[in-house]
């Protein structure tokens, strides 16, 4: 029960412990069983294969929840960006980082939204992302000029 991986100055929850890369659910179960045994309480029984698989799923969910939440936020931003309108007067030549080929394609096609731009052959997600950032800058400057 004195495993230094599980003890420290402030108590941690099982989920917080499982977020540590060196801790596995089996380690946590073993530590719990040692604690129960030292108190004269019966250990948690060895679980069948199905329950062990479920425990591993729980472990994975806990370990990667931050990453998964970040990916969800990124996907939501991309959905919103897909419907973002590109101003008619937008000058693709002013977007630093776009290749000449991408600038030519976007200028020729003149997509109405970032979603349409992303479906043009040869337009990369990175290029669409750059255009998105420049549209935000373009819109902020317009709002600042309107309020000044």
With beta carbons less than 8 A apart as the criterion, state whether 125 and 118 touch. yes
Structurally, the chain folds into a number of domains equal to 2
The beta strand positions in the chain, using DSSP E, are none
Query: CA-CA distance, 47 to 54, in Å (whole number)?
Result: 10
47 neighbors 26 (Cβ within 8 angstroms): no
- In tens digits, the chain (148 residues) has pLDDT values of 455 555 556 677 777 777 788 878 777 777 766 766 677 666 566 555 557 777 788 888 888 888 888 989 988 887 887 889 999 889 999 999 999 999 999 999 999 999 999 999 999 999 999 999 999 888 888 788 888 7
Domain boundary among the residues 49, 64, 80 is at 80
CATH number assigned to the domain comprising residue 124: 1.10.150.570
Last residue of a domain, one of 80, 101, 132: 80
Residue 6 lies in a domain: no
> How far is residue 73 from each of residues 15, 26, 118, measured CA to CA in Å?
22, 31, 19
Beta-bridge mates of residue 113:
85
**What is each CA distance from 60 to 9, 31, 53, in whole angstroms?**
26, 19, 11
Tokens of 27: 């380690």
Q: What domain range is 111 assigned to? A: 83-147
List Cβ neighbours of 21 (8 Å cut-off, separation of 6 or more). Answer: 63
Determine the pLDDT at residue 1.
45
Instruction: Give the N- to C-terminal CA distance of the chain in Å, as an integer.
Output: 66
- Would you state the pLDDT for residue 7? 57
C-alpha 64/C-alpha 59 separation (Å) is: 9
Are 49 and 19 contained in the same domain? yes
């Amino acid at each position: 029960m004195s495993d230094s991986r599980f003890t420290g100055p402030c108590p941690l929850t099982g989920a917080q412990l499982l977020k540590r890369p060196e801790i596995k659910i089996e380690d946590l179960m073993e530590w719990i069983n040692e604690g129960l045994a030292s108190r004269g309480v019966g250990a948690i029984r060895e679980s069948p294969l199905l329950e062990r698989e479920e425990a591993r799923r729980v472990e994975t969910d806990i370990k990667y929840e931050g990453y998964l939440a970040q990916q969800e936020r990124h996907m939501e931003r991309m959905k919103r960006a897909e419907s973002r309108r590109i101003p008619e007067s937008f000058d693709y030549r002013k977007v630093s980082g776009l290749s000449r080929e991408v600038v030519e394609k976007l200028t020729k096609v003149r997509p109405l939204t970032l979603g349409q731009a992303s479906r043009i052959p040869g337009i990369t997600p990175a290029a669409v992302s750059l255009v998105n950032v420049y549209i935000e800058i373009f819109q902020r400057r317009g709002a600042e000029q309107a309020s000044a």
